[in-house]
Structure 1
Amino acid sequence: MNMLQLGRTGIEVSDWCLGTMTYSRQTDQDDAFRQMDMALEAGINFFDVAEMYPVNPVLKETMGDSEKVLGNWFTKSGRRSDVVVASKICGDSGFRPGGYNGKSFEEALDVTLSRLQTDYIDLFQLHWPNRGSYHFRQNWGFDPSKQDAAKVEANMIETLEAADRAVKAGKMRALGLSNESAWGTMKWVTLAEKHGLPRMASIQNEYSLLCRLFDTDMSEVSLHEDVTLLSYSPLAAGLLTGKYQNGAVPEGSRLSLNGDLGGRKTDRAFAATQAYLDLATKHGIDPVHMAMAWQRRRPFPISAIFGATSAEQLAHLLAGDQVSLSDEVMKEIDAIHRQHPMPY
């Protein structure tokens, strides 16, 4: 497994990260424990969770259950110190009305630490901006005209000050973003530097062969400002495995539970997926391994967050750790991207 630095923090993480959003629902605790053991054995030291997990569906009454599974494993295994663990606080939503501010940030952090059965977290992330986000297919109608920049900035400073208190208290090591824009990321970075507050170390945005919004403005910010991309859904919610082609809906899969893969299920997505599947077949590469190896060839640092419903799925993914893509394959991937841009 390759290693990289998380922003400018000095924290070393693997360039693959174990996502845990199915833990306690689609993935029971015993299987989750096996997955975490397997990940560490494979050299993955980075686990990601969130206060709103598990998903499929997200329910207020089950919020935090995935964090509890990780906490139980930390206690049973005694391996907390071997893991860089990241979690997230919700933005403004029905799950956290009003989103995060100084008070709710500190309260949420304390609850997360309790669920994780630890006295510190390595990376605490803002799951999405309080002002809203263009992610999760909201880019098609995104309208920032009603945002109040002064209020946004005041909230950012208040949140950064809360993070600073948490860092000084030893409760967290680093702060990160998720589902953010280039403008938002730069505001966070600039305000942190201006006021001597914790600097954003990372940004967790969707990024895959089928979703490449990050390639332009955000990649430039990420590279030059050392805000490491933690790419979620590198397999496009399972589309890139090929398991949903030709109308297939495997029992227990995400598609069987939520119906549209968070807006990713479109005719164009299936056509684009088939082009990538055909390319993988042409070169004798497993499509899962090709999708993950592609992340390692991007011109900016990435730790790709993948989820596995079962230990068997995880074993299949880990078998591709040594796969690398030739320049020829990369050129053919770019050609497919031009033919099938933004398929959902």
Structure 2
Amino acid sequence: MKKFITLPSLALLAFTQLAIASTTSSSLSAADPTVTDGPYLFTQASSDAPRTAYWVCNSELRTTQVKALQLVSPNDCGQLPQPTLNPKAHDISADTYANIEKVVALSDVHGQYDILLTLLRKQNIIDKDNNWAFGDGHMVMTGDMFDRGHQVNEVLWFMYKLDRQATAAGGKLHLLMGNHEQMVMRGDLRYVHERYRVAGELLDRSYDELYDKSSEIGRWLRAKNTLVKINDTLFLHGGISSEWVERKLTLAKANDLYRKNIDRSKPELKQDELLNYLFFGNGPTWFRGYFKPGYDETELDNILSYFDVKQIVVGHTSQERVLGLYDNKVIAVDSSIKKGVSGELLLIQDEIFTRGLYNGNRVAL
């Protein structure tokens, strides 16, 4: 089994300090009697074999069989997701959409499942039973569901459910890949919550292997885009730098390269000039230039013109609220949900931008 934590040597000191602080109050192992987690579902060796779902119930590994696409948890296993499998979950969606009447966007949930549900419920994106209630609208999650928080798996299965429900209602869920999705998939596990050590030990898998391409959630994530254009708005995690324009990249090419190379190691990615740009530095999942003093708005105008959009919506760089910059040419939707206290979302309808507040109110951006 691979080690649960893999660390670049230069980050070791900082991580050690963080780990000491976190494990003092929450050190978990398979011997801890309090952990419930799951489900985890993997491809069977034989396509004819019944699929087995794995659950952690009070820190013991339990299994159930998948029947009629339904995952049902064992008795006495807490309030874990019990999802219905989606046969179309691994289909690749388009990266450009037009004539969409209403859009909602948010970002950087980082395992804060309860905050996510409350925000979406208060804003009538989901109903009281946590089912899709946004009709034919499109919802964009601009990355970073993984890491930091203690309910990442709950967030993932919830979004998996909304993906199916939105499509059935004539709407769409766009789950864009952020830098933390990319980090986990290539085995950079610096920010994984201690709770997930237990599942890794019991299943004899490192954390990244719980979501590898043999897993249901892993296959679903690997089919997703990293950038999407809806009407006259571009959505992504970090931001677009002028280097994108210089390279004459297209959404289709970039999304395809992300999907094909998501499992490659950092050294492998660094060896390729284009992949090094896409996955690191000034690439779309890491760029923070819009938020730095002295950023040249002319550069932004050139980028908007290149994509034929009026604004770019990004996460990644934390704010206290949904924030418009440069006369709303850039809209930041990382409202610090990761802190586990509250959050906001962005609503777009009839070219009107609205902040959806955590208490259910709405105010103009």
TM-score with structure 1 setting the length? 0.38
Query: Which structure has the highest helix share of the two?
Result: 1
